[in-house]
Amino acid sequence: MSASHRTDKPVRAEADLEQLSAWLDGELEPAQRVIMLERLKNEPELRAQFEWFNLAGDALRSHEVAACHRPALVVRVSRALESEPVRIGPGALSGSKLRRHIATGVTVAAAAGVLAVVALPQLRSPEAAPAGAASTAHNAAGGSAMAPAKALAASSPQLDAYFRAHRELAAAGVMPSAVAYIRMSGEPDR
Amino acid sequence: MSERDVDWELVTRVQRGDKHAYGLLVSKYQRRITRLLSRIIRDSSDIEDVAQEAFIKAYRALPSFRGESAFYTWLYRIAINTAKNHFAAQGRRAPTRSTGDLEDVEGFEDGPGLRDVATPDAVLLSKQVGEAVNRAIERLPEDLRTAIVLRELEGMSYDEIATAMNCPVGTVRSRIFRAREAVAAELRPLLGTREDQRW
């Protein structure tokens, strides 16, 4: 009975092993390298051969290093890795993922821009804001959020006076809204 | 593409979430790391624990590895620090001249940087490995022997070996593979891996 019949494992073709040997030395083409890595992932026999070829290299360079061969250590580390979360490095943010991140950033910036154009003029002076913009903002808010505030301002002359004073103060500074807010909120309660 | 590039390719795969690629790096470097630690840690039962811890620490830190140094150099430093922490946890110092020496010396598995704390068993096994390798090399035809020595000991590329041996690159590739097979065949009876020790 030949060796190939003594085991149910497939006998690896010499060409496969020669390719593995070349891969270890970094002598395969990029497309072949990808295939080899996938095969190493899925074929335990090829992985075992990977280990033997590496061991042969270690043994040629140092007998002491080769004598430290502890296959059980690799099994232990592999088992310990199973409970580790997947670690993603910055290199992973390439290609489509990177484009997706950039697209997200652009979307956020565009949303902030729309907010600045539509909402800020309205906050400063609802009278001066273009009618279209006001209606856009109103629609964007679904109408419901703006309506109670308007109703409240209309129903309270004191609050209306407060908003008017706030707008006048806000128009004066470099960071008008913020300065006015800080000034107002910094004053002790009367 | 050099061996360092092969490692970097595996590292980038790990950084994209491929844990299996890390297993290949562990398999490749476990002997060098174990050898390194065996020269620092006297208790052989601790060596494997510290080695495992070093590999796991390296895995956790791998997203920050940018490839400025070779992967092994980086892993080596993690192993040294893990060994130092091991001694610190036990309230002891590493059995070396100074811990600074550990960081300054690289690629010194066989160098004088650390004192050898090998057990008689390890010494015997090392001797047997040496004999097996010598046997394998002596039996190799000269062209295979030259090819594997230029590759493994001199670190030459296939192109360089082809030029040196005045033969096609394909022939170099075949010779190196057959030489590796021959050395591995001599080592199998000595260092054979049981089925349950495979990953």
What secondary structure, in 3-state letters, does chain B show?
A: CCHHHHHHHHHHHHHECCHHHHHHHHHHHHHHHHHHHHCCCCCHHHHHHHHHHHHHHHHHHHHHCCCCCCHHHHHHHHHHHHHHHHHHHCCCCCCCCCHHHHHHCCCCCCCCCCCCCCCHHHHHHHHHHHHHHHHHHHHCCHHHHHHHHHHHHCCCCHHHHHHHHCCCHHHHHHHHHHHHHHHHHHHHHHHCCCHHHCC
Contacts of A24 in chain B (CB under 8 A): 3, 6
CB pair distance less than 8 Å for A57 and B5: no
- Domain span at B140: 120-197
Q: Is this prediction's ipTM beyond 0.95?
A: no
Task: Check A55 against B184: CB less than 8 A apart.
Answer: yes
**B162 and B89 belong to one structural domain:** no
Per-residue pLDDT of chain A (190 residues; tens, 9 = 90+): 344 333 434 446 899 999 999 999 999 999 999 999 999 999 999 999 999 999 999 999 999 999 999 888 999 999 999 988 887 776 565 555 545 555 555 566 666 666 666 666 665 555 544 444 444 444 444 444 444 444 444 556 666 766 676 666 555 444 444 444 444 444 444 4
Residue type, B9: E
pLDDT number for residue B9: 93
Min distance B198 CA to chain A CA atoms (Å): 6
Q: What is the pLDDT of residue B192?
A: 78
> Which positions in chain A touch B125 (Cβ < 8 Å)?
67
> What's the total number of domains in chain B?
2
How many Å from the N-terminal Cα to the C-terminal Cα in chain A? 103
Which of B43, B69, B104 is the C-terminal boundary of a domain?
B104
- So where are chain A's domains? 3-82, 110-142, 156-190
Q: What is the pLDDT of residue B52?
A: 97
Name which of B26, B152, B194 is nearest A61 (Cβ-Cβ). B152
Do residue A67 and residue B125 have CB atoms under 8 angstroms apart? yes
User: Which of B33, B134, B198 best probes binding to A when mutated, by most A CB atoms within 10 angstroms?
Assistant: B198
Within-domain flag for B92: yes
Query: Across residues B166-195, what is the average pLDDT?
Result: 91
The reported pLDDT for the residue numbered A35 is: 95
Q: What's the pLDDT score for residue B3?
A: 82
The whole-number pLDDT of residue B4 equals 87
Nearest CA in chain A to B174: A18
**Mean pLDDT of the residues in chain B:** 87
Q: Which residue has the higher pLDDT, A7 or B199?
A: B199
Q: What confidence score (pLDDT) does residue A169 get?
A: 58
* Structure confidence at residue A88 (pLDDT): 79
Verify whether the Cβ–Cβ distance B62 to A58 is below 8 Å: no
pTM for the full predicted model? 0.68
If asked whether residues B17 and B76 sit together in one domain, one would say yes
Q: What pLDDT is attached to residue B90?
A: 82
Q: Is A21 on the interface with B (CB under 8 A)?
A: yes
**Over the stretch B48-107, which tens digit does the pLDDT of each residue have?**
999 999 999 999 999 999 999 999 999 999 999 999 999 888 877 666 544 445 554 444
pLDDT value at position B112?
47
Taking CB atoms and an 8 Å cutoff, what residues of chain B touch A48?
Answer: 193, 198
**Which residue type sits at B72?**
Y
A105 CA to chain B: closest CA distance, Å? 22
A26 reaches B (C-beta below 8 A): yes
Find residues 86-115 of chain A whose CB sits inside 8 Å of chain B. Answer: 86-92
Residue after which a domain boundary falls, among B104, B133, B152: B104
B76 and B168 belong to one structural domain = no
Q: Choose among B1, B5, B133: nearest Cβ to A63.
A: B133
Which residues on adjacent β-strands are paired with residue A88?
Answer: B16
Domain co-membership, B100 together with B142: no
Rounded to the nearest 5°, which phi and psi values hold at A83? -90, 0
Residue B172 lies in a domain: yes
- The 10s digit of each residue's pLDDT in B3-51 is 888 999 999 999 999 999 999 999 999 999 999 999 889 888 899 999 9
Say whether both B191 and B129 belong to one domain. yes
- Encode pLDDT of B137-150 as tens digits: 999 999 999 999 99
pLDDT score of B95: 62
Whether residue B63 lies inside any domain: the answer is yes
* Of B49, B78, B104, the domain-final residue: B104
B32 contacts on A by Cβ (under 8 Å): 58, 65, 68
Q: What is the DSSP letter of A93?
A: S
Interface test with B, best of A12, A87, A97 (most B CBs within 10 A): A87
Nearest to A67 among B1, B48, B122 (CB): B122
Q: Which of residues 149-178 of A touch B (CB under 8 A)?
A: none
Could A41 and B59 be called an inter-chain contact, meaning their C-beta atoms sit closer than 8 Å? no
Select the more confidently predicted residue: B169 or A119.
B169
Closest approach of A107 to chain B, Cα-based (Å): 25
- B115 in a structural domain: no
